[in-house]
Structure 1
Amino acid sequence: IIHLRNKDITPPKSDFVLDIKEDANQIHEADRLTKIVSIDYQIYRQEVEKTLTPLFETDSVLQKIRNGEQVTEADLAQLSSLV
């Protein structure tokens, strides 16, 4: 088809230039939360595991939980502060 085109027709030329200036005051950045709960949960879980894994052998609260022992509110507060 390309070889059948009319070769003497040139595209129209235009002197029109559109120059849009950016106003730094009008630029906004923000984090957008996802609506996909399962992905957010998986990312959160990975971060928690990455934080706690090195502490399983040294932290007394995590050792209590692994041994099935009772933990106090203070123990839970200490654990949540680690995360």
Structure 2
Amino acid sequence: MSMRIEVDHHGGLPGVVDRENGKVLINASNLHYRELNPMVKAAAAEGTQEIILNNIYGQRYIGSGIRVPVRITIHGVPGNDIGPI
């Protein structure tokens, strides 16, 4: 099963996903971890090499369950149980 994340070009809004030079950027401002983590997993599942998360504030389990190599860059303060680091 392939999951796709949609690209929305209204940059800066919470949850908006954008693509830049083969990277996926996600604004995690005001997103619950249950909203954020499926977005991260979907980006990894579609073969993205790097995921950049901006405005992280306490979201947990980031990267947990991802089974493919991917670089996740976190800007902010993550919660507990960060993926397989």
TM-score by length of 1: 0.25
**Which has more strand, going by share of residues?**
2
Higher relative contact order, structure no. (Cα contacts within 8 Å, ≥ 6 residues apart): 2
TM-score by length of 2: 0.24
**Which has more helix, going by share of residues?**
1
